[in-house]
Structure 1
Amino acid sequence: MTESTGLTYESFKHWRRTFEAGFWLTLYTLNALFNSIVSQIDHPGTPAWQPWLWEWSSALMLLALVPAVVAFVRRWPFHFDSWRVALPVHLLASIPYSLIHVGGMVLIRTAVHGAMGEHYDFGPWWSTWAGYEYLKDVRGYFGVVALLSLYHLWVARLQGEARLLAEPEVGPPVEPVERPERFLVRKLGKEFLVNARDIEFLQAAGNYVNLHVRGREYPLRVTMAGIEDRLDPARFIRVHRSYAINLDFLAEIEPLDTGDARLRMKDGSEVPCSRRYRAQLKDRFGEAASVA
């Protein structure tokens, strides 16, 4: 089945990082701007710069924390089938998130107030943080998690999400289920098949393994250990804790001084090879520095 036209992951990925950075920057800038105006209206007798300092110091810290939340969501993603496990983990993570946010903004406010010749009083730390700041931060934290989860779902649909072909309920399977020759990829409501022999390399990413096929990435919800046992060992080999390659697409092996190696695939991609797995390559290719 042919893939849909229009916006593709291949075109989107070239400006994906710019889009992500711009989104969060725009979101927190607009939020700080509107909150500053409202705060200034709510505090008519306060010097005009103070409400703006309060809101922008908070926004700067929240923006600085976004990469940490992104990494944490990648490690503990929210899915319909795993949210009960992820929820308590994220509740615990929201505590240091809030403490860093509040601690950082208090330092910024204290420094600016000091430069203006004034004293900044945050108030009783425990009651102010636990009774007010954390209640706001936990809502904000899960708001960020929700946005990231929706975004990851959209990206997964855009790039195509692979799955193993299940054994049919009636009749014999169309291929070996334990070692499939093809993977079913669902992309923007359409389905097509990817041959296992066309997979150039595999990369672990949280609860997924990305299948790299002709410059495209298809996430498969499985662990690296789980998929490794179902690939043809004559063609695929593990080269790193997070990577496995198809030997048919290996172009060059570059030894490194650390004992590790850098693998160059025929499409120009580079894959790390750890010292632990480099011996397996030596067993297959001897001391050759490259393969045809």
Structure 2
Amino acid sequence: MTHDGSMSPSTASANDPSAIAPVSAWDRYQPWRRTVEVLAWVILFAVNAIAGTLTTVIDIHRFDLDIPHWAPAVWETSSCVTALALAPLLVWYTRKVPFHIDTWRRALALHLLGSVVWSVAHVVGMVTIRKLVYVGLGESYDFGSWGMNLVYEYLKDVRSYTYMVLWIEGYRLLMRRWQGEASVLTTPDDVPEPAVPERPERFLVRKLGKEFLIAASEVEWLQASSNYVNLHLRGRDYPLRTTMAAIETQLDPARFVRVHRSYMVNLDCVGEIEPLESGDARITMHDGSKIPCSRRYRGALRQERRAA
């Protein structure tokens, strides 16, 4: 990134978390993160499928039921495979409908609705798989009364849905704590609040029990993400609990420019602007990151760069 020439090396080191730990455990985890997350889901559902199959087999032998020995494995595997296929949609939905103290009632209502949709999709998917497997084995699968069985399956699925949402949100909370969360450096209690909110010169980053200060001018670009705005600098993102509209009014307009509904850039960190046939543009930052620029903001970006 581009540093302010007036900043001394000692000051930069004091305000730069990455200067203290250039290669942290967080950095080492990033190349493996997607693999670990996918494997965690696969292992979770594989364990559920095995446990469910063994439990059903035990019940069949206990009650001496006339059920083929392969049927429990088909039932449990079809359920878990369908749930695993729906997991990415649930991850996406929890991003769109996050739980926060001020909006938890709305989020709860939307998640109750989401659990119904998820359950119906889960039942339809697993029944389809079972019918296909049964046909392949020369058998016929009968799900029974759809009305009664949908209610029965929902009573089980709503619990699974709840556990998965808690799993997802718990993991995200852990990642935010590990990565570090930013907040605007507040005015001391003994100093009166200004009538007009001042632009923050620094952000406070809390990370695993430690606190760091980062200069606002060092933020390379910002990206809106649900109820957060990620501050990007030196290859790291620090989520700030705010909206893009709110942070836009606080940052220096001579330095930070809105280029997209979800992005702002630091003009000092912009490398190239590539026009696209659609009328939009693609911004290449000094660190190589590609930022979309919509046609709505393209003219303002061009004027600001000339002025700079």
TM-score, normalized by the shorter chain, greater than 0.5: yes
Q: Which runs of 4+ in 1 moved over 4 A?
A: 1-7
- How do 1:145-184 and structure 2 match up within 5 A? 145-172=165-192, 177-184=197-204
Instruction: Tell me if the contact between 1:75 and 1:207 (Cα under 8 Å) persists in the aligned partners.
Output: no
- The reply on whether 1:85 has 2:106 as its aligned counterpart is yes
Distance across 2 between alignment mates of 1:239 and 1:194: 23
Secondary structure class of the residue paired with 2:250: coil
Residues 199-218 of structure 1 deviation map (CA, whole Å, 9 limit, x = unaligned): 00000111100000111110
Aligned residue for 1:37?
Answer: 54
C-alpha deviation, 1:118, in angstroms: 1.6
Partner of 1:280: 300
Q: Give how far 1:111 is off.
A: 1.2
Counterpart of 2:31 in 1: which secondary structure? coil
2-side partners of 1:7 and 1:54: how far apart? Answer: 44
Partners of 1:207 and 1:221 within 8 A in 2: yes
1:95–1:134 CA contact under 8 A, matched in 2 = yes
More displaced, 253-262 or 199-208? Answer: 253-262
Q: Structure 2: which 5+ residue stretches go unaligned? A: 1-13
Say yes or no: does 1:256 pair with 2:296. Answer: no
Give the whole-Å Cα distance in 1 for the aligned partners of 2:99 and 2:193.
32
Count of matched residue pairs: 285
Q: Deviations over 1:54-88 (max 9, x none)?
A: 00000001001111110111111123443223111
Kept in 1: contact 2:254–2:304 (CA 8 A) = no
Residue 54 (1) aligns with residue 71 (2): no
Distance 1:10 1:222 in 2: 25
Give 1:172 deviation, angstroms.
Answer: 4.5
* Separation in 1, partners of 2:26, 2:80: 31
1:113 to 134, 142, 154: 134
Q: Secondary structure at the match of 1:169?
A: coil
Report the counterpart of residue 239 of structure 1 in structure 2: 259
Note the alpha carbon deviations across 1:104-148, whole angstroms, 9 max, x for none. 101111111112222111111011111x10011111011111011
Question: What percent identity do the matched residue pairs reach?
Answer: 52
1:15 counterpart (32, 45, 57)? 32
Kept in 2, the 8 Å contact 1:165–1:183? The answer is yes
Choose which of 45, 50, 60 in structure 2 pairs with 1:28. 45
Which of residues 195, 207, 218 is equivalent to 1:187? 207
Q: 1 or 2, which has the higher helix percentage?
A: 2
What TM-score, normalized to structure 1?
A: 0.92
What root-mean-square deviation, in Å, do the aligned CA atoms of Structure 1 and Structure 2 show? 1.9
Q: What is the SS of the residue equivalent to 1:101?
A: helix
